[in-house]
Amino acid sequence: MAKKIVAGNWKMNKNLQEGIELAKELNEALTADKPNCGVIICTPFIHLAKVSEIINHNVINLGAENCADKEVGAFTGEVSAEMVKSTGAEYVILGHSERREYYNETPEILKEKVDIALANGLQVIFCIGESLAQREANEQNAVVKAELEGSVFHLTEEQFKNIVIAYEPIWAIGTGKTATAEQAEEIHAYIRSVVAEKYGKAVADETSILYGGSCKASNAPELFAKPNIDGGLIGGASLKTADFKGIIDAWKK
Ligand code: PGA
């Protein structure tokens, strides 16, 4: 069985003080009422070191939202996977559609980032998902398969075990428009079958496949009840403790 996970993606929200406050609140809430799933918060780079000291890593894991496609050196403004790891973070999100679209991150660049992140001991939350036009043209399966082939299917089986997949239909991100639980389950099952073709059924069954895109406490129980949905990658609803905890608690229903 794949590990159940609820991961937050703060994106470019919260200044340092606000981020510390949110991490403290969440840590207190989840220490008092232990989650039934893995919980990860992915924060802007500048928050990582402080937040890492605040949280109990037995209850909440920490991740970055990105890392550089180079190991080290003269790359002004970039943050390396090794630097991320040195803060105490355990994860990094790669392949988010916002990075692919606004920062021109190609499958080749993402492949480099994945390799460097894994080499530095980070686990990768690798995002895939189709646009509205691709969904309307019924190309979603081909799109997600190509995204996996382009950036993670070169990995060995041992390396691939450090990949969490997040399926995030672009048309559902931040739009309030969620994929129905049936739509999500259908493509999650397909994604698992593609992983099984590549790495075998045992690895596929152990791979966590998260849903992302306007996931909130009200729709999480229905989504998480599906056999191939192992949790969520949460944007907007990860910015308030009550909202995020409401989604985490969906695993208790
Ligand atoms: P959202 O974002 O929950 O705000 O739709 C999800 C994501 O982009 O990871």
The catalytic residue positions are 96, 168
Distance separating alpha carbons of residues 232 and 196, to the nearest angstrom = 21
pLDDT digits (tens, 9 = 90+) for 233-252: 999 999 999 999 999 999 99
CA of 235 to the centre of ligand 1 (A): 4
Quick one: pLDDT at residue 145?
A: 98
Distance separating alpha carbons of residues 150 and 250, to the nearest angstrom = 33
> 228 in ligand 1 pocket by Cβ < 6 Å?
no
CA of 9 to the centre of ligand 1 (A): 7
| The pLDDT of residue 229 is above 80 | yes
Quick one: pLDDT at residue 6?
A: 98
Is 70 in a helix, a strand, or coil?
coil
> 213 in ligand 1 pocket by Cβ < 6 Å?
yes
Whether the CA torsion 172, 93, 52, 84 is positive or negative: it is negative
Quick one: pLDDT at residue 203?
A: 98
Instruction: Note the helical H segments in 33-139.
Output: 45-54, 81-86, 97-102, 107-119, 132-136
Contact 187, 167 (CB under 8 A): yes
Pocket mutation for ligand 1, best pick of 11, 130, 173 (most atoms within 8 Å of C-beta): 173
Question: Which tokens go with 116?
Answer: 């460097």
Which class is domain 5-234? alpha beta
Does the pTM of the predicted model rise above 0.85? yes
Sequence-distant (≥ 6) Cβ neighbours of residue 117 within 8 angstroms: 67, 81, 84, 92, 94, 124
pLDDT band (50, 70, 90) for residue 120: very high
CA of 10 to the centre of ligand 1 (A): 9
Ligand 1, atom 3: nearest CA belongs to which residue? 235
CA of 12 to the centre of ligand 1 (A): 12
> 233 in ligand 1 pocket by Cβ < 6 Å?
yes
User: E-strand spans in 74-208?
Assistant: 91-94, 123-128, 163-167
Ligand 1, atom 6: nearest CA belongs to which residue? 235
> 42 in ligand 1 pocket by Cβ < 6 Å?
no
Run of H or E residues at 56 = none
> 236 in ligand 1 pocket by Cβ < 6 Å?
yes
Ligand 1, atom 7: nearest CA belongs to which residue? 235
**Which contacts of 30-34 are long-range, i.e. CB under 8 A and separated by 24 or more positions?**
30/59, 30/60, 30/245, 30/248, 31/56, 31/59, 33/245, 34/59
pLDDT digits (tens, 9 = 90+) for 137-159: 999 999 999 999 999 999 999 99
Distance separating alpha carbons of residues 170 and 100, to the nearest angstrom = 11
Sequence-distant (≥ 6) Cβ neighbours of residue 245 within 8 angstroms: 26, 29, 30, 33
Contact 217, 152 (CB under 8 A): no
> 234 in ligand 1 pocket by Cβ < 6 Å?
yes
Mean pLDDT of 196-224: 97
> 129 in ligand 1 pocket by Cβ < 6 Å?
no
pLDDT digits (tens, 9 = 90+) for 24-83: 999 999 999 999 999 999 999 999 999 999 999 999 999 999 999 999 999 999 999 999
User: E-strand spans in the chain?
Assistant: 5-9, 38-43, 60-64, 91-94, 123-128, 163-167, 209-212, 231-234
pLDDT band (50, 70, 90) for residue 179: confident
